Amino acid sequence: MMSRGIWQQKCRNAIRRWLRSCAAQTSPLSPSPVVSLGNSSYIGFSSQPIVSRYAMASFSMVNDKLMDLNIPYSIKRSCFSSHALLDLPASGIVSIPLAQTGEGIAECELLKWFVKEGDQVEEFQPLCEVQSDKATIEITSRYKGTVSQIIYVPGDIVKVGETLLKMVVEESQGSNLTSNAPDDMKSMGAEVCDSSIQSSDLRNSNTGGVLATPAVRNLAKQYGVDINHILGTGQDGRVLKEDVLTHAVQKGLCKEPSSLSVNSVEHFQGEEKYSHTLAADGWQYEDKTVPIRGFQRAMIKSMTLAAKIPHFHYVEEINCDALVKLKASFQEENRDPEVKHTFLPFMIKTLSMALSKYPLLNSCFNEELQEITVKGSHNIGIAMATPHGLVVPNIKRVQSLSILEITKELAQLQQLALANNLCPEDISGGTITLSNIGAIGGKFGSPLLNPPEVSIIAIGRLQKVPQFVDDENMYPASIMTVNIGADHRVLDGATVARFCNEWKLYIEKPEQLMLHMK
Amino acid sequence: MTISQTRNVGLPLMKLVRWKGVPILQQLHLEEQLLRTSSENWCIINDGTNDPTIVMGISGKPAQLLKLDSVLNDRIPVIRRYTGGGTVVVDCGTVFVTFICNKDAVPGLQPYPQPIMSWSSLLYALVFRGFGDFSLRENDYVFGNHKFGGNAQSITKNRWIHHTSFLWDYEARNMAYLKLPARAPEYRVARDHLEFICRMKDYMPRSVFVDRTIKAVETHFSVRPVELEAMETNLNSKFPHSTKLLTEQELEAAAFESHFEKALSHSL
């Protein structure tokens, strides 16, 4: 795995060497890392010259705009800069264009200048203020120099990429371009835009380590882990925040489950790039490559971990006639139009009741420490299939909630999941998982555990089947098949069987709940 | 130490100013001054302003955005603020929440419009959980497809401000002072003001909103309330504010220009 990262590094170095050799031969490319190509090219922003220059490196450029995910909080890929980037020949007058200030923004209104022609300008000094949509943004200078010509006046609309002003830049700054790049450039370069990976690559290759943003490096430092020892799951082997957290959990450095990363947390860190699977293009015979993103990536990680756990499965049938009647009576008495009663909240509550008697099923196993932690809260996760992938939000402390409260909480989590609005708290801290695969179909499933939990329950579809009673008469019964997956390092068949019997009793005889109510 | 404990210890400080009924001009003046002269993180909550006031964005043109005849007739104050964005009518039913942060205050947050907007929506998602179908829709906060919160920002070299005016309640007649802007979010196209906005009071109590907002802020910052009086003595009274109250003369001139242009176009 490490060697993959190193191999990729070597490829990039080879590509750069090839490009430099091209630059030496062909006139349009200067030998410096920044290409002097007139007004339209600058680091960290897509433009034709850069696309062609780095074609060999297979960067997918920002010109193919990220599709709108129609997800309110998701990140939209873009290159940002509040610096007026410039193309830099060795010395002389340079044109400074308005760089991208936010994805989808093609133009800004110039509000005011902070400098005038003839002014000496320092690096990072504010040059002007522009407005785009909702924001006023200060544009600062990347370099030290003298303003030679102001192109626009306040009130003008400036398209992104057009020259804002011209500056006379001092010669010595050209060689210092990459090594003195400010933090803004680093964070801009590293996060989101493919075309800016070049600058972050340079920086990362300079440090000789893996690809990672400063925020992720800080996180690794915080946990005291060597980032070079962490397997990166991002593009080009980039180490992401979730990689650090997973590594820390495995090392026992942190207790917080990191099995599911969250779009909403990562997106503003800019470490992830998301896209939809491409829509069918009408050609049925072509293969499609689907990039791994978001929930899918989390699922891969989680299931890879789960595959290492010795599972066993226990299957049982539960007669749900009483449950069907109960649900009907709940709905009949229901006066709240916002509340819709389903089977699941009752199953969640009875599951919690059974867990109170068999708490070992509500535990976590730490392989490194060889320790079982019996969890005090019944945080029951409900697997949900959303358009964005499989996600498992959990209802906290079910033992202290009523069935009605569970109904409301479940409905809310479902809404949030569909809208991709779940927050990290919703999907972490789960202690056991319920997968109602029967809602889609199937007699029962054979679920894989959701690490670090030790049990998972898959519920099949409710089916009306003939049942015999004692006098050998048949009657129709609503039967549901459940499959309990369990970690055989922690649980044995007998424990799971007894637990299941207890749960089955509550479902088949709901009045038993009253007996145990506190 | 568990992660949550570690995170609390490491949270950056944010000073909290809680006001009620402070004039919006004063609030905007304070905000801009803190943005440009302070090096600390601030949260300002102004629970309602005093008089109905129109607040335009930094490049707002009264003739394009306002029904000037009514505005002048009813002597409604018009302010042009220092941040970008659109026009709002604010009054005692508006709740303002402002964040002023150093660019590295929120780990990993890039100081650019969209990331800040998204981050703010995550924070408010915590606030509105269980109270409505909240989301960020093209820079507006909505329940479903009805706007109840408008946003604006200003980003400087090392800091940023994101402020929101929440329509806890509003008077329909006040909305009538505003024209529909030429550039509008897609979900609002072909909808009148009263069609695309909603009242937050239909979703949650006012005090609950303020309390939950503070609680949500506490997930990112170590919040320290500060008193207004102490604040005021620290402020530099010579600070050149960009936020301006437009004079009656300016509004009349704009109205005249607008009438003149209309007359001219009709005569051609």
**Is residue A26 scored above 50 in pLDDT?**
no
- Measured at the CA of B162, the angle between CA B161 and CA B166, to 5 degrees, comes to 145
Q: Strands of A87-233 (E only): list them.
A: 92-97, 107-113, 120-121, 126-132, 135-141, 145-150, 157-159, 163-169
Within 10 Å of residue A453's Cβ, how many Cβ atoms? 29
Q: Which residues of A touch B110 (CB under 8 A)?
A: 80, 187-188, 191, 268, 270
- Position A389 scores a pLDDT of 75
Per-residue DSSP letter, B243: -
**Is residue A180 scored above 60 in pLDDT?**
no
Confidence of residue A203 (pLDDT cuts 50, 70, 90): very low
Q: How far is CA A464 from CA A253, A270, A366, A435, A478, in A?
A: 50, 50, 42, 21, 4
The answer to whether the Cβ–Cβ distance between B108 and A215 falls below 8 Å is: yes
Report the C-alpha gap between B182 and B185 in whole angstroms: 10
Candidates B5, B109, B114, B136, partner chain A, best to mutate (most A CBs within 10 A): B114
Q: Which residues of B touch A131 (CB under 8 A)?
A: 57-59, 84
| A269 at interface of B, judged by CB pairs closer than 8 A | yes
Q: How far is B183 from chain A (nearest CA, A)?
A: 9
**A71: nearest Cα among A420, A422, A427:** A420
Residues of A marked as catalytic: 488, 492
- Position B261 scores a pLDDT of 67
Report the C-alpha gap between A1 and A495 in whole angstroms: 39
| A253 at interface of B, judged by CB pairs closer than 8 A | no
Within 10 Å of residue A182's Cβ, how many Cβ atoms? 13
Write the burial class of residue A161 (CB in 10 Å: 0-12 exposed, 13-18 middle, 19+ buried).
middle
DSSP string, A324-392: HHHHHHHHHH---TT----HHHHHHHHHHHHHHH-GGGGEEEETTTTEEEE-SS--EEE-EEETTEEE-
Mean pLDDT across A93-108: 77
Report the C-alpha gap between B50 and A258 in whole angstroms: 48
Candidates A114, A123, A133, partner chain B, best to mutate (most B CBs within 10 A): A133
The encoded tokens of residue A355 equal 């867990």
The answer to whether the Cβ–Cβ distance between A269 and B117 falls below 8 Å is: no
- Position A294 scores a pLDDT of 65
Output the CA torsion B115→B116→B121→B126 (10° steps): 110
CB-nearest to B3 from A213, A256, A415 is: A256
Q: Which residues of A touch B122 (CB under 8 A)?
A: 73, 264, 268, 423
Candidates B6, B110, B119, B139, partner chain A, best to mutate (most A CBs within 10 A): B110
| A421 at interface of B, judged by CB pairs closer than 8 A | yes
Tens of pLDDT, residues A442-497: 777 788 888 889 999 999 888 888 887 776 788 888 899 999 999 999 999 999 99
State which amino acid sits at residue A397.
R
pTM attached to this predicted model: 0.49
Strands B146-155 and A135-141, by their bridges, are parallel
The encoded tokens of residue A485 equal 């997956």
The answer to whether the Cβ–Cβ distance between A218 and B57 falls below 8 Å is: no
The encoded tokens of residue B36 equal 């440009």
The answer to whether the Cβ–Cβ distance between B113 and A187 falls below 8 Å is: no
Among the residue ranges A261-275, A305-319, A385-399, B238-252, the one predicted with the least confidence is A261-275
- Find, in chain A, the residue whose alpha carbon is nearest to that of B219: A425
Say what percent of chain B tops pLDDT 70.
Answer: 84
B230 phi and psi angles, rounded to 5 deg: -60, -35
Q: How far is CA A365 from CA A223, A362, A375, A428, B247, in A?
A: 21, 10, 11, 16, 70
- Measured at the CA of A416, the angle between CA A414 and CA A420, to 5 degrees, comes to 115
Mean pLDDT across A379-388: 86
Cα(first)–Cα(last) distance of chain A, in Å?
53
The answer to whether the Cβ–Cβ distance between A101 and B117 falls below 8 Å is: no
Confidence of residue B259 (pLDDT cuts 50, 70, 90): confident
| A68 at interface of B, judged by CB pairs closer than 8 A | no
**B18: nearest Cα among B37, B36, B50, B43:** B43
CB-nearest to A191 from B83, B110, B133 is: B110
The answer to whether the Cβ–Cβ distance between B107 and A135 falls below 8 Å is: no
The answer to whether the Cβ–Cβ distance between B84 and A412 falls below 8 Å is: no
**Is residue B91 scored above 80 in pLDDT?**
yes
CA–centroid distance for A152 within its chain: 41
The answer to whether the Cβ–Cβ distance between B110 and A423 falls below 8 Å is: no
- Measured at the CA of A323, the angle between CA A320 and CA A329, to 5 degrees, comes to 150
Tens of pLDDT, residues A417-452: 887 778 777 888 899 999 987 777 777 778 888 888
State which amino acid sits at residue A216.
V
Report the C-alpha gap between A482 and A317 in whole angstroms: 6
What angle in degrees, to the nearest 10, is found between the helix axes of A493-508 and A343-357? 130
**Is residue B94 scored above 90 in pLDDT?**
yes
Out of A62-66, B45-49, B175-179, B225-229, the most confident range is B45-49
CB-nearest to A419 from B57, B104, B135 is: B135
Contact A428, A469 (CB under 8 A): no
Q: Which residues of A touch B81 (CB under 8 A)?
A: none
- Find, in chain B, the residue whose alpha carbon is nearest to that of A248: B3
Q: Which of residues 385-414 of A touch B (CB under 8 A)?
A: 408, 412
Q: Strands of chain B (E only): list them.
A: 13-20, 41-47, 53-56, 78-80, 88-90, 94-102, 134-137, 140-143, 146-155, 159-167, 222-226, 244-245
| A133 at interface of B, judged by CB pairs closer than 8 A | yes
The answer to whether the Cβ–Cβ distance between B125 and A136 falls below 8 Å is: no
A135 phi and psi angles, rounded to 5 deg: -120, 140
Mean pLDDT across A16-23: 52
Give the residues across from A474 on adjacent strands: A468
CB-nearest to A134 from B119, B122, B139 is: B139
Q: Which residues of A touch B130 (CB under 8 A)?
A: 408, 412
**Is residue A512 scored above 90 in pLDDT?**
no
Confidence of residue B237 (pLDDT cuts 50, 70, 90): low
- Find, in chain B, the residue whose alpha carbon is nearest to that of A240: B108
Contact A460, A444 (CB under 8 A): yes
| A111 at interface of B, judged by CB pairs closer than 8 A | yes
The answer to whether the Cβ–Cβ distance between A72 and B121 falls below 8 Å is: yes
The answer to whether the Cβ–Cβ distance between B109 and A82 falls below 8 Å is: no
Out of A62-76, A162-176, B75-89, the most confident range is B75-89
Q: How far is B259 from chain A (nearest CA, A)?
A: 22
Mean pLDDT across A131-141: 87
Cα(first)–Cα(last) distance of chain B, in Å?
77
Confidence of residue A15 (pLDDT cuts 50, 70, 90): low
Q: How far is A268 from chain B (nearest CA, A)?
A: 5
Confidence of residue A231 (pLDDT cuts 50, 70, 90): confident
Report the C-alpha gap between A391 and A416 in whole angstroms: 11
Q: How far is CA B263 from CA A92, B70, B260, in A?
A: 52, 19, 5
**Is residue B153 scored above 80 in pLDDT?**
yes
Tally C-beta pairs within 8 A across A and B.
Answer: 129
Report the C-alpha gap between A398 and A118 in whole angstroms: 70
**Is residue A309 scored above 50 in pLDDT?**
yes
- Position A305 scores a pLDDT of 80
- Find, in chain B, the residue whose alpha carbon is nearest to that of A131: B84
Contact A144, A170 (CB under 8 A): yes
Q: Which residues of B touch A72 (CB under 8 A)?
A: 121, 135-137
CB-nearest to B84 from A103, A135, A187 is: A135
State which amino acid sits at residue A87.
D
Q: How far is CA A271 from CA A22, A57, A78, A186, B74, in A?
A: 32, 20, 12, 13, 52
Tens of pLDDT, residues A324-357: 888 888 888 887 777 888 889 999 999 999 999 9
The encoded tokens of residue B61 equal 């043109």
| A415 at interface of B, judged by CB pairs closer than 8 A | yes
Confidence of residue A28 (pLDDT cuts 50, 70, 90): very low
Contact A330, A344 (CB under 8 A): no
> What ipTM goes with this model?
0.84
| A73 at interface of B, judged by CB pairs closer than 8 A | yes
Tens of pLDDT, residues A259-285: 433 333 333 333 334 334 444 555 567
Q: Which residues of B touch A80 (CB under 8 A)?
A: 110, 112, 115
CB-nearest to A82 from B108, B115, B155 is: B155
- Position B258 scores a pLDDT of 74
Report the C-alpha gap between A5 and A476 in whole angstroms: 60
Mean pLDDT across A96-112: 79
Out of A181-185, A384-388, A511-515, B51-55, the most confident range is B51-55
**B12: nearest Cα among B161, B215, B159, B222:** B222
The answer to whether the Cβ–Cβ distance between A131 and B108 falls below 8 Å is: no
Per-residue DSSP letter, A94: E
- Position A73 scores a pLDDT of 35
Q: Which residues of B touch A76 (CB under 8 A)?
A: 114
Give the residue, B265 or B120, on which the prediction is more confident: B120
- Position A426 scores a pLDDT of 83
Tens of pLDDT, residues B28-71: 999 999 999 999 999 999 998 888 999 999 988 888 888 888 88
Report the C-alpha gap between A414 and A421 in whole angstroms: 10
- Position A387 scores a pLDDT of 75
Contact A347, A507 (CB under 8 A): yes
Q: Strands of B23-145 (E only): list them.
A: 41-47, 53-56, 78-80, 88-90, 94-102, 134-137, 140-143
Give the residues across from A487 on adjacent strands: A311
**Is residue A123 scored above 80 in pLDDT?**
yes
Q: How many separate helices (H) and strands (E) can be counted in chain A? A: 14, 20
CB-nearest to A80 from B83, B110, B118 is: B110
- Position B68 scores a pLDDT of 87
Report the C-alpha gap between A236 and A60 in whole angstroms: 12
Average pLDDT, chain B: 85
Average pLDDT, chain A: 71
- Whether cis (ω within 30° of 0) applies to the bond prior to A452 is yes
